[in-house]
A = this chain, B = another copy of it.
């Protein structure tokens, strides 16, 4: 038995915590959304022009471009997002949130906030700040 470092322990622990978080957010399925769908809608809703390039979505959410393409396919079909081309660069296809997308996001957001409260009830504000900063240093988004 050889003990691993605190740093490595924290990284492994993060992996487990992620699986716990992901499972809790399965409840978003009552809105017909996966957690990744919800995160995408949040990014779009907060984007200055309510549209983003697929590649930027991928970078922000921590998926590959391929993963984003596949994630968006059903969302386009359902009508939560649509495509928009870029006049100056024909390679780009923007992802635009629709009115239906905004509506479902607003509903899902209520559920998501409830889940967040359930998950982080006892964590002190100060500790949350440290967690937040560390996550940011590790590449997490600041929003």
Please report A residues at the B interface, Cβ cutoff 8 Å. 1-22, 25, 35, 39, 42, 45-46, 50, 60-63, 106, 109, 112-113, 116-117, 119-120, 122-123, 127-141, 143
Q: Is the interface of A mostly helix, strand, loop or mixed?
A: helix
Assembled-state Cα–Cα distance A11/B114 (Å):
12
- What are 10 inter-chain pairs, A to B, with CB distance below 8 A? A6-B132, A7-B113, A7-B117, A8-B113, A9-B141, A13-B140, A14-B135, A15-B35, A16-B62, A127-B133
* Whole-angstrom distance between the Cβ of A27 and the nearest chain B Cβ: 13
Can you tell how many copies of this chain the complex includes? 2
Q: How far is the CA of A3 from the CA of B1 in the complex (A)?
A: 47
